[in-house]
């Protein structure tokens, strides 16, 4: 088992596993409208934290590995419910990091979903230039360059 996994399947007696499950189940509260199991105990980095032995693991990873199975290597868990405090293993799906970011609600996802520049020009392969990881509209760039040349000529 690698460091990336939460080692749920570490060797323990049935009574230790049962007491661990009892501890875990005491730390979440059901949300009836969404079906989320909302973590109400320790929070670290916006996610629930749960102690397994001497190791603090992500509560959602613990839940998934305990009730569904190991998280495949190279994948991470996406909260389908978009609630990072949810530990319902059936609200979690193993996906690649890129897919997890694409499904998110951050700036990267918002910008990737845009089909037109701020001036209304469509992002097509012919009208789009990628510069330092960002898309640039060629039409707007050409117009800005023409304005710059006109200012220089007038000076």
Going along the chain from its start, the domains and CATH numbers come out as 14-103 (3.90.75), 114-154 (no CATH)
List pLDDT tens digits, range 62-78: 999 999 999 999 999 99
Average pLDDT, the chain: 90
Q: Answer whether residue 85 shows pLDDT above 50.
A: yes
- How many angstroms separate the CA atoms of 98 and 74, rounded? 11
**92 C-beta neighbours (distance < 10 Å), count:** 22
To which residue do tokens 């994948």 refer? 75
Beta bridge partners of 52: 55
Q: Answer whether residue 84 shows pLDDT above 70.
A: yes
- How many angstroms separate the CA atoms of 53 and 62, rounded? 12
Q: Answer whether residue 1 shows pLDDT above 70.
A: no
Is 21 in contact with 66 (CB distance < 8 Å)? yes
Q: Answer whether residue 119 shows pLDDT above 90.
A: yes
pTM over 0.75: no
């Amino acid at each position: 088992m690698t460091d990336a996994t939460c080692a749920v399947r570490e060797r323990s007696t049935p009574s230790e596993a049962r007491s661990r499950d009892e501890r875990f189940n005491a730390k979440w509260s059901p949300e009836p409208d969404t079906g989320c199991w909302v973590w109400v105990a320790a929070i670290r980095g916006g996610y629930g934290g749960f102690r397994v032995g001497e190791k603090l693991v992500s509560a959602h990873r613990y839940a998934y590995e305990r009730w569904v199975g190991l998280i495949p290597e190279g994948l991470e868990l996406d909260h389908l419910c978009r609630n990072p405090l949810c530990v319902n293993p059936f609200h979690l799906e193993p996906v690649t990091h890129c897919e997890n970011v694409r499904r998110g609600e951050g700036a990267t996802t918002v910008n990737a979903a845009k089909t037109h520049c701020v001036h209304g020009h469509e992002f097509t392969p012919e009208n789009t230039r990628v510069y330092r990881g960002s898309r640039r509209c060629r039409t707007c760039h050409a117009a800005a360059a023409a304005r710059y040349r006109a200012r220089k000529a007038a000076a």
